[in-house]
């Protein structure tokens, strides 16, 4: 599915996340790399789902990203959400649900498939401009 460099990078990312964050339920790759239509300059879009949001979430994201500098081949965009935050429809949830690869943990997304399935993209002149439920 992924080339060796990507597999190595994802393993390093999983290790860094689990070292920094307690109580990780799942880690998902989404976006262009998950879809397979990435370019040379594409980044890794990673969603981490936890039962309880950690204190200093921004600081923890920074430490994870800083710790991976020079070790992975692509930039990293990292998002941390509590599993309870998936109960509400959002464009972000739509994107992750429809374009994700689980790389660690439990299949948490399947618990929220009914919410994600209700969302539809709003397209104007061939361009996705928003979402509606």
For the chain, how many structural domains are there in total? 1
Buried b (16+ CB within 10 A) or exposed e, 48-86: bbbeeebeebeebbeebbeebeeebebebebebbbbeeb
CATH number at residue 112: 3.30.460.10
For residue 49, pLDDT over 60 is answered with yes
Residue predicted with more confidence, 93 or 41: 41
Q: What is the pLDDT of residues 12-33, one digit of tens each?
A: 999 999 999 989 999 999 999 9
Range of 54's domain? Answer: 4-132
């Amino acid at each position: 599915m992924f080339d060796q460099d990507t597999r190595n990078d994802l393993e390093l990312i999983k290790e860094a996340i689990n070292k920094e964050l307690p109580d990780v339920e799942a880690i998902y790759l989404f976006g262009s790399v998950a879809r397979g239509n990435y370019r040379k300059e594409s980044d890794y879009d990673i969603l981490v789902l936890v039962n309880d949001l950690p204190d200093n979430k921004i600081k923890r994201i920074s430490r994870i990203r800083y710790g991976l500098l020079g070790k992975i081949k692509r930039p990293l965009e990292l998002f941390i959400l509590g599993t309870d935050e998936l109960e509400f429809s959002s464009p972000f949830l739509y994107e992750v649900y429809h374009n994700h690869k689980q790389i660690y943990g439990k299949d948490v997304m399947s618990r929220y498939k009914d919410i994600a399935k209700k969302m539809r993209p709003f397209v104007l002149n061939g361009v996705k401009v928003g979402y509606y439920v």
